[in-house]
Amino acid sequence: RIRPQLSKEKIEGCHICTSVTPGEPQVLLGKDKAFTYDFVFDLDTWQEQIYTTCVGKLIEGCFEGYNATVLAYGQTGAGKTYTMGTGFDLNISEEEQGIIPRAISHLFSGIEERKRVAQSQGRAAPEFKVSAQFLELYNEEILDLFDSARDPDVRHRKSNIKIHEDASGSIYTTGVTSRLINSQDELIQCLKQGALSRTTASTQMNVQSSRSHAIFTIHLCQMRVCARPDKLLLPTTEYETLTAKFHFVDLAGSERLKRTGATGERAKEGISINCGLLALGNVISALGDQSKKVVHVPYRDSKLTRLLQDSLGGNSQTIMIACVSPSDRDFMETLNTLKYANRARNIKNKVVVNQDKTSQQISALRAEIARLQMELMEYKAGKRVIGEDGSEGYSDLFRENAMLQKENSTLRMRVKAMQEAIDAINSRVTHLMSQEANLMLARAGDGNEAIGTLIQNYIREIEELRTKLLESESMNESLRRSLSRVSTRAPYSMGSSPGSSLAGLCSPAAPVDTEASDVLRRAKQDLERLKKKERRQRRKSGCEEEDGREDEDEDSGSEDSLVDSDSDAEEKAVNFQADLADLTCEIEIKQKLIDELENSQRRLQTLKHQYEEKLILLQNKIRDTQLERDRVLQNLSTMECYTEEKANKIKADYEKRLKEMNRDLQKLQAAQKEHARLLKNQSRYERELRKLQAEVTEMKKAKVALMKQMREEQQRRRLAETKRNREIAQLKKEQRRQEFQIRALESQKRQQEIVLRRKTQEVRRRMDASSAPGQPEPNWGMLLGKHGFPGVAQPVAHVSLLPFGCRKKFPKKGTSQTFSKAARLKWQSLERRIFDIVMQRMTIVNLEADMERLIKKREELTLLQEALRGKRSKLQAENPKGLQELNEEIEVLGANIDYINDSISDCQATIMQIEETKEELDSTDTSVVISSCSLAEARLLLDNFLKASIDKGLQVAQKEAQIRLLEGRLRQTDMTGSSQNHAILDALREKAESHPELQALIHNVQQGGTWGSCQVSLGAGKQQHGHGEAAWPRQVRKGAGWTSPCCARQLLVSSSQVTCPSDPSWLRPPDVGFTPPSSPPTRPRNDRNVFSRLTSNQSQGSALDNVVPSTHPPPCLFFLSHARGVINPVGGTKNARTAPLQCVSMAEGHTKPVLCLDATDELLFTGSKDRSCKMWNLVTGQEIASLKGHPNNVVSIKYCSHTGLVFTVSTSYIKVWDIRDSARCIRTLTSSGQVISGDACAGTSTRTVTSVQGEHQINQIALNPTGTMLYAATGNSVRIWELSRLQPIGKLSGHIGPVMCLTVNQTASNHDLVVTGSKDHYIKVFEIAEGMVGNIGPTHNFEPPHYDGIECLAIQGDILFSGSRDNGIKKWDLEQQELIQQIPNAHKDWVCALAFIPGRPMVLSACRGGMIKVWNVDTFTPVGEIKGHDSPINAICTNSKHIFTASSDCRVKLWNYVPGLTPCLPRRVLAIKGRATSLP
C-alpha cells in the first residue's frame, strides 16, 4: 500500500518515486524497476477497498476453522498503524477505520448471520466463544497489554510469558491474559485499552512512532451441527467443534537508525526492532527461496518469529501488507520494504481445518464409511474384482465398457455428422441428375414437364435405394467381421458355415460386369497396400523426428551454433517435407478418383438392372394387352350381339392403349440406348482406372525413395551436430582456461600494485618523518613484531586500505597449509564474492550519502524559494519595482531544484541497477560453496578467514593509532598558531602607539572577538568585501583608475599595519562591516611608487621583523609583503633594439604563478595559483581590488564590458563578480548546470583539490563578441550559459577527451562560431544559431589532428591558429575547413598561448620554456623571438596598446610591438625553424 504524500513532504519539494501499472498488481519504483504482488493499492485507495479485497475472505475462513494472520510491515510513518486501525484517533471517521475494527465488526455480524440461518432452517444454532489477547514485543521481551497489574513505566523487567509448541506443531503462550468477549463493543474497548498501553516515542521520521511490535490475537471457538451427506442418514444429530485464531500484527518501523536520529533509549529500541525484523527476514528468505532448499528455518532466533511460526510456512492463511512512502526522500526504505515483501510472496503455507479430536475422528469415520459404500457398490456392479493372488483391481469388462462407451460417443457424433452430409449430397446429386436427364430429353425433342418430374422422382428413389444399399453392405461387412471374430473365439465349430448362412445378405443386388469388378478390386487392394506402407513410413519418420527432437533437447545446452550448416540442413528437411506432402496429396486425389469411378460403375449397374426390369415389364404388358385384345375380339365374334361398330370401338380403344404403350416403350428403348452408350464408355473408365493405378504405384516408389533420402539426410545432420557440439565444448573449455589465466594475471597485478603502493607510502612517510625531526613517529612494525604478529614488522603506511574481501593473498606457512586445487578455487571464489559484496555496499552507501545530501539541499532551496515567493507577494502590493530581481532569483532556485531532482533520479536509477546486479550475484551464494567443502577444505578456508580477520583487525588498530597521532599533531599545531597570533598581536599593539588607525582597528578586533573583522581592503577607500558603497571611488565604477591623493597613504597604513589571524577564514568577507578609521594626516608624497614604499617600510627593521625567525615566516606576513600589487616600469633590455617586442612594464603582486589574464584598455584582470584574482588599473598602474575565496587555482578569467561582470574559474565553479558598485560575488555557476545565489565557496578556507561528486573540472571559459553567451569547457563538453538569465541552455558535445581550450567568433549571419581543442588531439567547430538549445554536435572536425593535446587557439576572421603539446602550430582555413600550413616544431616545448597583435597581421605564440615568437599571419613565417620569462608562459592577451604575458614567475609583463625591426634570429636559424609544411 502506497500512502499519500504528507503536507510536509510537499512543502519540502519531495517528488513521488512510485507508480502503479494500471490494471496490473505491479508497482514501479524509480524509472523502470517493477515489483509484482497479489494486490497493489495506490495513493487514493480507501480503507474499505483494502479490507474487502484482502482481509474479508480471511474472516470467512475463520468460521470454517482456518487460522489467519495479517502483517503490516514498513518504515516509520508509512501508514502501518493507520492501515491496521490501532491508532484510535478520536476524530477518525467510519470510512477511515482500519483493518482490525472492520474485522471485529465482520466477525460478530457473521456470528449473528450464522445463528439466524440455522434457526430458519430448523437446525440447532451454532455456539460461538470469542476471546482476545494483546501482546507487545519490546526490546525482545513479551509484554501483556491486557495486564492491568503491570506497571507501564517498568518495561525492562523480565517478562514471565513463555512460548510453547504442542504436539501438532502449533504455537501457544502461557502467562498471557485472555479476555472472554461477548460483544463487538467490548472487543473494541479492549483493543483501545491495549493500543493506548503500547510503547510510542517521537523520532525524526514520526512524531508518534511505534517502538515495539504489537500482536492482537482473536480466538474463535465454534460448535455446530455436522454437515452430513444425503447418503449417510444417521438417526442422531452430531456436532463438531472448530477453532481458529486470527493474528493482527503491527510491526515497528523498519528504517535505519540514522534516519530516525535516535540516541540513547530510542537507539536501543531501534536496534531491538531491527534485530527482530532481521530474524523475520531470515525466516522469510529460508522459506521463500526455493533455490537454497534450506532444511532449517531459524524460527528461534527471535521471539517475534517464534510467535509467528504458524503464520510463516505453517497452518495459517497469511496476508502481508507492505506499507511504503511515495516520496523520493524515503527511496531506500521503500526499496528495502518492497524487496522484503517480494521474498515473503514466495512462501507457501499448509492450511488445515482446526477441529477437536472428536470432530476429527467423526469426520474421518464418515469419510471411511462413504468410501467403503462406494467400493461395495463397485463390487456388486462388477466394476471391481479380486485376482487369484488376492489383489484388487478393476475388471476387464469395466475397462472395455469404458472404452466402448467412449468410442460409442465418438461414433455417434460421427454418424450424426455423416448423415447430415449424406442428405445434403443426395439432394445435390438428385438435382444434378434430373437436370442432366431434362437436358437430354430436350435435345431429343421429347421433353415435357411431366416426364421431367417423373425422372426426378425416379432419380430420387434410385439415390435413396443406393443409400440403403450402401448401408446394407456396410452392415453386412460389419456383421461378417463380427461373425469371423466370434468364430475365431469359439473353441468348437458351429453347425453351419456362417458364410453360407449369410449368403443371401452378401450377394449383390444385381450382377455386375466381371471385368470392371476385377479392375476395381485390384485398385482397392493396391490402394490399401499403399496406405498401409504410408502409415508405416509415417510411424518411422515420426520416431526419427522424436529422436531428432530428443537429440536437439540434449544439445540445447550449447550456446553457439553454426548457422551456415544449420540453414542447409533445415532447407533440405523442408524440401523433403514438401515432397512428402505433395505425394500424400496426390495419393488422396487418386483415391478420390477411384472412389468416383467405383460409384459411377455402381450407379450404371443399378440403372441397367432397373431399365431391364422395366423393359421386360412393359414387353409383358404389351403382350398381355395384345392377347387380351385378340381374346376380346374372338369373344365378340362369338357373341350374339356382335356388331361391326362395337368391334371397331373396342379395337380402337385397344389400339389407342397399344400406341401409348408403344410410345412408352420407345422412350424406354431410347433410355436403353443411352444406357448402352454409357456402358460403352466403361472401357474408357477402366483404362483411366489402370492409369491411375500405375500412377499410384509410381508415387509409392517415389515416396519410399524420398523417405529413405530423408532418413539419410537426418543421419548426416545428426552426425554434423554431434561434431559441432564437440567443437563447441572444446572451445568453451579453452575459453575457461584463458579466463582462469586472465584472473590469475589480474591477481598477480593487484599484488604488485599493493606492494608498489606500500613502498610508495613508506617512502613518503620517511620523507615526512625526515622533514619533521621534532615529531618522532613510533615504529609500529617493530612494536607489533615483538608481540608475535607474523609478517607485520612494517610501518603504518604499509597497511593496505583495501576493504575486507579484496583479492589479497595471505602468507602461507609450511607445507601443511598448502591449498589443494579445489580448495584454492573455492577460496578464490569466496574472495571474489566477498569483494563484490563489499564494493556493492560501498557504492550503495556513497549513493545514499549523495542522495541525502541532494535531498537536504533541495529542502533548503525549497524553503528559500517559498520565502522569496512570500517576499514577492508582499512587494507586489508595496513596491512593484523590485520584482524583477526577485523573479530572477526564484527562477534560478527553480532551475537548481529541477537539476537536483534529476540528480536524485539518476542516483535512484543507479541504486536500482546495482540491486539488480546484486540479485544476479545472489544466485551464486557463498553457502553453496561452503556446503560443498570437505572437512579438510573447510579447515583450510576457516584458517584463511581467521588470518584475514586478524589482518583486518590489525589494520584497524594501526589506523586508529595513526588517527590519534595525527589528532595530537593537529592540536599541537593549533596551539603553536595561537601563540604566534598572540605574538603578532602584541607586536601590533606596540606599533599601534604611533598609528591611531591601527589602534582603532585592534580595538574593533577585541570588541568583536573575531579575527575576521579586522580585514581591510588592499585597495583604497573601500573595503574589498563590500562594506559600504560610498568608499568606492567613482572612477572604479566607470572602470578608470583612482586620482585621490590619499589613496597611497591609506594603502600604506592598511598594508603595513594590518594583522593576520591564523584562521584562514579571515580572507572571507565578514557578515557585518565596520567603520574604517579616519585618514592619517597629510604627508608629502614620496617619489617612489607604493610598492617601493611598502618594501622600504618592511626593510626598516620594524617590530614585525623580530616576531618569527626568518627561516619560517608566518603566512600572514608573507601575504602582507605582497598584499597589494603595482605595475612598475621596466628599463631597456639587452635585445631591445633587435627584438620585435619590448617590455615596458611589469605587474607584481601575486604570490604564486599567474595562470590567466584578460584586459581592456583601462583594466587588467589576472588569475593565479594563490586562489585570487586581481583587478589592475592600467592608467594609474595600481591594483584596484583582489577577488578572493576561490577553492583552488584560478585557471581562467573573463571580463564582459557590456555588463560589467567578471567571470573567474576555479575547479568546477564559475564565480560571477559585479565590479560596478562593489567587488562582490553575485552568482556561482557549477559545471553541472546549477546556479547558486551568492558565493558558494565562501566557506572554503583551505585549498580544495577534488571536485564535488557529479561535477567536472572547468578548464577555460569564453564570451561571445556580443556578450550574451558564456561558453565553459567542462570535462568532455562545453556548457552554454545565457548571461541575461544566467541559466544553462545547452551543451556542445563530441570530444572523447577533456576540452582544454576554446575560442569564439561571429559569422556573417551573426551566429556564434565556437572552436574547441581537446586532449583527444582534435579541433572541432560548432555553429550556434539563435534559439538553439540542448545537446549540439559539431559542424566540422578538423583533420589531420595534432600529435598531442591542444593547449591554445587563436581566431581572426577566417584564419585559425592552434598550438599543441607536440610543440607544433597549425594554420587552418575556417571557410574552406582545411589545413593551410603547419610547423611541427615551432617551439622547443609545449605551445601554451596564442594571440593576435591588434591592427597588424601578426600572431604571437608562447611556450612552456618562456619564449615568445612573432609570426606573419599571411605567410606563416617567423618575424622574431624573445625570451619573455625565465618560467613557463601560461597566457597571452592584448588590448589596443599593449601585449600582456602571464608567467609562472608570479609576474605579468606588458609589451609593445616595435614594427620594422630586424628579426633577432639569424637567417640560418630562421630557415630551419621557420620551415612550414604546405598542404594541398
At 19-78, the pLDDT tens digits run: 898 888 899 888 778 889 999 999 888 889 999 999 999 999 999 889 999 988 888 888
At 1108-1120, the pLDDT tens digits run: 333 333 333 333 3
Q: Which residues contact 1392 (CB under 8 A, 6 or more apart)?
A: 1351, 1352, 1363, 1406, 1407, 1408, 1432, 1433, 1434, 1435
Q: What pLDDT, on the 0 to 100 scale, is given for residue 1150? A: 92
Peptide bond into 776 cis (omega under 30): no
At 125-152, the pLDDT tens digits run: 889 999 999 888 888 888 888 877 666 5
- Residue 415 to residues 323, 391, 1376, Cα–Cα distance (Å): 64, 41, 90
Q: What pLDDT, on the 0 to 100 scale, is given for residue 1138? A: 58
1297 annotated as belonging to a binding site for a ligand: no
C-alpha cell at 592: 478420390
Helix ranges restricted to H, 556-643: 563-638
80 annotated as belonging to a binding site for a ligand: yes
1399 annotated as belonging to a binding site for a ligand: no
Q: What pLDDT, on the 0 to 100 scale, is given for residue 1359? A: 93
Q: Does the structure show a pLDDT above 60 at 1397?
A: yes
Q: What pLDDT, on the 0 to 100 scale, is given for residue 480? A: 79
Q: How far apart are CA 1068 and CA 1246, in angstroms?
A: 12
Q: How far apart are CA 610 and CA 606, in angstroms?
A: 6
At 588-620, the pLDDT tens digits run: 777 777 777 777 777 777 877 877 787 788 788
Q: Does the structure show a pLDDT above 80 at 699?
A: yes
Q: Kind of pairing, strands 1194-1200 and 1205-1210?
A: antiparallel
C-alpha cell at 1253: 561528486
At 1408-1461, the pLDDT tens digits run: 999 999 999 999 999 889 999 999 999 999 998 899 999 999 999 999 887 755
Q: Does the structure show a pLDDT above 60 at 1100?
A: no
Q: How far apart are CA 830 and CA 819, in angstroms?
A: 14
Q: Residue 291: which of 933, 928, 934, 932 has the closest Cα?
A: 928
- Among left, alpha and beta (phi > 0; psi -120 to 50; other), residue 958 is alpha
Q: Does the structure show a pLDDT above 50 at 1476?
A: no
Q: Would you say 1360 and 1372 are in contact if contact means Cβ atoms under 8 Å apart?
A: yes
Q: Does the structure show a pLDDT above 90 at 1278?
A: yes
At 1283-1341, the pLDDT tens digits run: 988 899 999 999 999 999 999 999 888 899 999 999 999 999 999 988 888 889 999 99
Min mean pLDDT across 231-235, 400-404, 983-987, 1176-1180 is at 231-235
Q: Does the structure show a pLDDT above 90 at 1463?
A: no
Q: Would you say 772 and 976 are in contact if contact means Cβ atoms under 8 Å apart?
A: no
- Between these two residues, 920 and 737, which has the higher pLDDT value? 737
75 annotated as belonging to a binding site for a ligand: yes
Q: Which residues contact 238 (CB under 8 A, 6 or more apart)?
A: 225, 226, 228, 362
Q: Does the structure show a pLDDT above 90 at 483?
A: no
Q: Does the structure show a pLDDT above 70 at 153?
A: no
Q: How far apart are CA 26 and CA 440, in angstroms?
A: 77
- Residue 1201 to residues 404, 561, 1025, 1205, 1222, Cα–Cα distance (Å): 106, 69, 22, 7, 16
Give Cα 997 to chain centroid, integer Å. Answer: 67
Q: What pLDDT, on the 0 to 100 scale, is given for residue 319? A: 92
Amino acid identity, position 1034: R
Residue 108 pLDDT class (50, 70, 90 cuts) = very high
- Between these two residues, 679 and 1206, which has the higher pLDDT value? 1206
Amino acid identity, position 1109: P
Q: What pLDDT, on the 0 to 100 scale, is given for residue 208? A: 55
Of the chain, the percentage scoring pLDDT greater than 90 comes to 18
Tell me whether residue 380 is exposed, middle or buried, using C-beta atoms within 10 angstroms of its C-beta: 0 to 12, 13 to 18, 19 or more. Answer: exposed
| Number of Cα atoms under 13 Å in the Cβ half of residue 571 | 6
C-alpha cell at 497: 458355415
1317 annotated as belonging to a binding site for a ligand: no
Q: What pLDDT, on the 0 to 100 scale, is given for residue 1011? A: 41
Q: Kind of pairing, strands 1213-1218 and 1224-1230?
A: antiparallel
Q: What pLDDT, on the 0 to 100 scale, is given for residue 269? A: 73
Computed over every residue of the chain, the mean pLDDT equals 75
Q: Does the structure show a pLDDT above 60 at 662?
A: yes
Q: What pLDDT, on the 0 to 100 scale, is given for residue 200? A: 61
- Among left, alpha and beta (phi > 0; psi -120 to 50; other), residue 264 is left
Q: Residue 209: which of 269, 249, 133 has the closest Cα?
A: 269
1082 annotated as belonging to a binding site for a ligand: no
Q: Would you say 1147 and 1454 are in contact if contact means Cβ atoms under 8 Å apart?
A: yes
Q: How far apart are CA 394 and CA 401, in angstroms?
A: 11
Q: What is the DSSP letter of 31?
A: T
Q: Would you say 1316 and 1301 are in contact if contact means Cβ atoms under 8 Å apart?
A: yes
| Helix, strand, coil distribution of the chain in percent, nearest 5 | 50, 20, 30
Q: What is the secondary structure of 1372-1436 as a DSSP string?
A: EETTTTEEEEEETTSSSS-EEEEEEPTTSSEEEEEETTSEEEEEETTT--EEEEEE--SS-EEEE
Q: Residue 667: which of 614, 613, 601, 604 has the closest Cα?
A: 614
Q: What pLDDT, on the 0 to 100 scale, is given for residue 709? A: 85
Q: What pLDDT, on the 0 to 100 scale, is given for residue 939? A: 84
Q: What pLDDT, on the 0 to 100 scale, is given for residue 541? A: 56
Give Cα 1124 to chain centroid, integer Å. Answer: 57
Residue 374 pLDDT class (50, 70, 90 cuts) = confident
Q: What pLDDT, on the 0 to 100 scale, is given for residue 51? A: 92
Q: How far apart are CA 191 and CA 145, in angstroms?
A: 9
* Residue found under cell 604575458: 1445
Of the chain, the percentage scoring pLDDT greater than 70 comes to 73
Q: Residue 315: which of 349, 286, 283, 285 has the closest Cα?
A: 349
Q: Would you say 1200 and 1283 are in contact if contact means Cβ atoms under 8 Å apart?
A: yes
Q: What is the secondary structure of 45-78 as a DSSP string?
A: --HHHHIIIIIHHHHHHHHTT--EEEEEEE-TTS
Q: Does the structure show a pLDDT above 70 at 1016?
A: no
Buried b (16+ CB within 10 A) or exposed e, 647-675: eeeeeeebeeeeeebeeebeebeebbeeb
81 annotated as belonging to a binding site for a ligand: yes
Residue 316's H or E segment, with its range, is none
Amino acid identity, position 584: T
